[in-house]
Chain A
Amino acid sequence: MSVDHAHTAHHEHPDAVGSRNRLGVVLILVADIAFALSVLFVYFYLRQQNVNGLWLPKASDTAAATTPVAVAGAWYVTIIAALGLVTHRYALLGARAKNQTQLKLGSLLALVASVVALAYQVILMNGTSFTITMGAYASCYFLIAGLNVMHLLFTVFIALGNWNRSRLGIYVADHWHVDIVNVWWIWMTVSSLFGAFALSFK
């Protein structure tokens, strides 16, 4: 148990704090990467097993056949995410060069990209010809797309925060937060790419 009386504050160098924060984010990403790789394992395992021929069920008296989605949509989402990563990187370079205009512009563009990617992913999910109950492929498709939606929702949150904080001039002296957000953007884009890659195998 700790004492409650007079307290002395101890300050650390921003680089020490920033480097520690980045390691923390990378470690949390290890967990998220393990989760995403497990999702891919589920996809390829069920695809390879094709239990009872129900990976993609054929038409029956009561239900239509499950038709795979056009994979181009998943790649478009990944491309938009990659554009977001590039614009965030542009913002980060601005932060490092103490160029506030570049930082604000890059952050805003990254925010827009994350919102567009999220909206487009949701539209894609609503446009499928099947529901989640129609076989293993359908279940896996919604799992991968759902994971992407979760990632993009989180990206919108941090891109919004990043842009707002850039706008308020919080990153004038210290670019570590922008740097750490960049780590997330890289992983989010790679994760989206993993999903698009998996869905390319129908």
Chain B
Amino acid sequence: MTTVTNRPASAGPSAPKKALIERLSIITGLLLGIVGAVLAWYLARTFLPVNTDGSYIKTRMDQEVFIAMIGWFVGFMTGIGALIGPFRWLLGKDLTHDETLFYAGKDQGVKRYFRYTTDHKVVGIQYLVITMVIFFVGGVLAMLIRTNLGHAGGNWLQPQTYNTVVGLHGITMVVGAIIMITGPFGNFIMPIMIGARDMAFPRLNALSFWLVVAAVPPLLSSIWLGGIPTGWSAYNPLENQAPPGMDGFIMAICIFAISTMVAGANITATAVKMRAKGMTWNRTPIFIYGVVASVALALPVFPVFFLSQVLSGLDRATGSTFFDVRGGGSPWLYENLFWIMGHPEVYVILIPALAALMEMAPVFTRRPLFSFNLAIMGIAGISGLSVLVWAHHLYVSGWAPLLNGPFMLTTELISIPTGMLFLVLIGTLWRGRVWITLPTAAIYAVLFNFTIGGITGIYLSDVSADAALHGSIFVTAHFHYTLMGAGLTSAIGALVYWFPKMTGRMFDKKLGWTAFWITQVGFNIAFMGMFMVGLAGQPRRVGAISAFYDKGNSITTMGAYIIMTGMLVLLHGVVVSWVWGTKATQNPWFAKSLEWSVAYPVPLENFDVLPVVTEDAYGYGKAQS
């Protein structure tokens, strides 16, 4: 070990000139991003040749929008400082120790949250905040949808606006759900939990976060560029025919996909290579398995999604014909590429969410996790099968009818490993002396909601049932039961559980419980109502609905407003607890995993001396029932 002295204070007239990396922050990122976008747009407008080749789709506007967005992206990433590392490597001038410490956020107070900071704890907090912002935006969009559908005929929103609101709601919520566990907790908690000083690649860690930020303006710009009338799945030929707002969607997805791939490599390498001495795979906490399975699953599938959007962008900007039948392309190709990512993405969200619950269950029952090996088999089984089920989304498209049977089989098979995870949770709780906290309540809520989400999923995987239900709002209710009822509820439980470690404060009990019950009641009212109208045949993504569906829609809208109330209470709870909450002790839950062995605030490199693990994380003794 080597001790280094603190950096000298840089105050006063004789203070040394600030180095470049000290000048860069989100301000310079935004400034250079805007300059880059305007400059690129001006150059495109001035120098791009007029389209004369008679292609079917491409428009000059799309080309200009794409080039401007690339200008934004390059400018922002330069301004935030993402390119310094690679260019310093190129020049052979590697970062000095002091510069590395600066990147880690040393001595920067709050400013480090607005810089290209590499400390995994800072990145975890950044992810937590951006996840809440994303959910807030997605929630507002959801309320616009439900308000429009709250009465017969709709039409409170113009049809194109309604479609855009639905598409934006879908994509913001999917992005938020993908990062809601692996972002905040995968970054903040995971390295401490495995006894590491930081992530394997701290600069890539910062990169993955700032790429998410860079994706936001292109996505939001779609509102002013004609919208995204396609829903989040952006099927072709709809995508090809959409206004330039679609270019914003495509650009945002491409940037987000890169972020996901970078994060996937980083988290996996960290878990594989940086576990503490003695932390064999049998002693590695189940949460680590969940996070690694999620990001490792994202590694091979997100590039396929990335490609689908690259091809759509090429069709729109260059006139290529990948998805256009008039030039030998195929919309079925898009559907395959999209769903090869689209279905595993559900498990990218759910696996770490359920793993977080499995991490908490032993703590609040004071007994070992029921069958650690079964949990791992379940996670591995879901991960493996999830890449073999995508075509159940294509049953009614007419693509390869002979494959419907095999895909129905693989889709229904996935309920077996999912059931294993249920068994592990129930087995851990069974006849235990449960300490009732909000995280424990989240476990019960998820078991209830996910049972409904899972069983309705089996209907949809059945070819004949899907023929009737496909395209109906029944499907919407089903995936909200899985992604929100199970995924988001788990994330709220995880937030309350790890809140003391991340903020040094306990989550306010009263506000937490109030938010929990309001949200759960509202959620079940909203989406049971949606199942009703879905079974009756109400189509999804349609803004003007017949009076026949009024009752169910009114119930759903009422439930949605109740959810909104609960979520606002939760948000209030986060702010109040973070600022004024009761100070937490080092280990308020008396848990055995390593993250609770370090005090708050967690030191820059987490541990003075790296821990040596001598037992598993769930050695709470036998059940006392």
Contact = CB atoms under 8 A, between A and B. Distances in A.
A59 interface: no
B332 to A, nearest CB: 8
7 closest A-B pairs (Cβ-Cβ)? A54-B328, A136-B328, A27-B265, A35-B303, A139-B320, A133-B319, A31-B261
Nearest to A63: B54
Interface stretch (A5-13, A96-104, A182-190, A193-201): A5-13
B333 A2 contact: no
A2 B307 contact: no
B91 interface: yes
A139 B322 contact: yes
Contact of B330 (A46, A131, A160): A46
Interface stretch (A18-26, A75-83, A119-127): A18-26
Contact of A9 (B3, B107, B602): B3
Interface string A124-155: 00000001111111111011000000000000
Contact of A23 (B3, B273, B600): B273
Contact of A38 (B108, B121, B307): B307
B321 A133 contact: yes
A133 B92 contact: no
Contacts of B328: 46, 50-55, 57, 135-137, 139
Contacts of A19: 273
Tell me which of B3, B105, B300 has the highest count of chain A C-beta atoms within 10 A of its own C-beta.
B300
A1 interface: yes
A45 B330 contact: yes
A10 B601 contact: no
Contact of A24 (B269, B320, B503): B269
25 contacts: A1-B125, A5-B6, A7-B6, A7-B605, A20-B274, A23-B273, A24-B201, A24-B204, A24-B265, A24-B266, A31-B265, A31-B302, A33-B300, A34-B304, A38-B303, A42-B337, A51-B328, A52-B325, A131-B53, A133-B58, A136-B321, A139-B321, A143-B322, A160-B90, A167-B92
B327 A28 contact: no
A45 B90 contact: no
A30 interface: yes
B122 A2 contact: yes
A138 B321 CA distance: 9
A140 B299 CA distance: 24
Tell me which of B86, B201, B330 has the highest count of chain A C-beta atoms within 10 A of its own C-beta.
B330
A22 to B, nearest CB: 9
Contacts of B384: none
Contacts of A30: 265, 299-300
B151 interface: no
Contacts of A6: 6
Contacts of A136: 321-322, 327-329
Contacts of A10: 1-2, 197, 605
B396 interface: no
Nearest to A7: B604
B45 interface: no
A7 B101 contact: yes
A52 B602 CA distance: 63
B310 to A, nearest CB: 8
Interface in B591-620: 600-605, 608
B101 A133 contact: no
Contact of A157 (B90, B119, B329): B90
A128 B90 CA distance: 34
Interface residues of B, number: 75
B311 A2 contact: no
| Chain A residues touching B, range | 35 or more
Nearest to A170: B92
A31 B330 contact: no
Interface string B315-358: 00011111001111110010011001000000000000000000
Given A1-B503, A20-B269, A161-B89, A31 B604 contact: no
B524 to A, nearest CB: 36
B502 interface: yes
Contacts of B54: 62, 133
B570 interface: no
B43 to A, nearest CB: 20
Interface in B229-279: 261-262, 264-266, 268-269, 272-274
Nearest to B318: A132
A12 B3 CA distance: 14
Interface in B92-108: 92, 94, 97, 101, 105-108
A55 B327 CA distance: 8
B106 A143 contact: no
Nearest to B93: A168
A122 to B, nearest CB: 16
A157 B269 CA distance: 24
B55 A133 contact: yes
Given A23-B273, A46-B333, A133 B327 contact: yes
Contacts of A3: 601-604
B109 interface: yes
B200 interface: yes
A92 to B, nearest CB: 18
Nearest to A55: B328
A168 B273 CA distance: 30
B338 to A, nearest CB: 12
Contact of B265 (A2, A5, A28, A42): A28
A165 B321 contact: no
A50 B304 CA distance: 22
A120 B336 CA distance: 34
B301 interface: yes
Given A24-B204, A136-B329, A46 B265 contact: no
A9 B321 contact: no
